[in-house]
Amino acid sequence: MKPFLEGHEDPLTVLVAREMDAVSDVDVVAWAGCHAAPPSYAEDSDYQELLRSNPRNPLALGKAHGHLTSLVARVFADFDPSSAQAGEMARRLFLRRIRSYLHSDLEPLQICRMIPPIEERYDYPYWLGNLYDVCDWMDARTTRDQALHLRDAIEQILSDNGESQLPDATE
């Protein structure tokens, strides 16, 4: 399975993905490692910190989100993570993430844990569909076999949003 972040994404996209829990700190560090940064932030201290982070070092991982946030705040000072622009980025990321559930070994909680941050930041958007109910009582022990209804809900959300259920080129 290819990683969700491939390296070509800009820091704004990565921050939106991280803040909605679509990706983890490990993913953020991995993104930095394969991202070709433009001159505008290639030498930025926080970007450099991300580049130097060891993904197997929990201490370094614990700081990754902070480095990414600082990078965006400094280099993209006009970006509002709660704006309509960010909301549309979140919607695209969300749909891509749930589609990847159909074609990967993602655990149910990796989908369900996106709901609280999305609800909070984007004011209960319609594109979450009925995941609010579907994810009831899904925790870290819930297996894919126990969550067949999650698969059904994802297929419905993709259909409602006019999205294909087929894997895209990154999956």
Q: Is 105 in the site for another protein (CB under 8 A)?
A: no
**Residue 121 CB, nearest approach to another protein (Å):** 13
Q: Is 92 in the site for another protein (CB under 8 A)?
A: no
Task: Select from 4-12, 31-39, 130-138, 154-162 the region that touches another protein (CB under 8 A).
Answer: 130-138
**Residue 37 CB, nearest approach to another protein (Å):** 26
Q: Which is nearer to another protein, 107 or 163 (CB)?
A: 107
Q: Which is nearer to another protein, 117 or 167 (CB)?
A: 117
Q: Is 49 in the site for another protein (CB under 8 A)?
A: no
**Residue 137 CB, nearest approach to another protein (Å):** 5
**Residue 62 CB, nearest approach to another protein (Å):** 4
**HEC states along the chain?**
CCCCCCCCCCHHHHHHHHHCCCCCHHHHHHHHHHCCCCHHHHCCHHHHHHHHCCCCCHHHHHHHHHHHHHHHHHHCCCCCCCCHHHHHHHHHHHHHHHHHHHCCCCCHHHHHCCHHHHHHHHCCCHHHCCHHHHCCCCCCCCCCHHHHHHHHHHHHHHHHCCCCCCCCCCC
Q: Is 146 in the site for another protein (CB under 8 A)?
A: no
Binder among 57, 83, 159, 170 for another protein (CB under 8 A) = 57
Q: Which is nearer to another protein, 55 or 167 (CB)?
A: 55
CA dist list (Å): 79 to 86, 114, 169: 8, 21, 28
**Residue 163 CB, nearest approach to another protein (Å):** 24
- The first and second tokens of residue 51, run together, are 């580049």
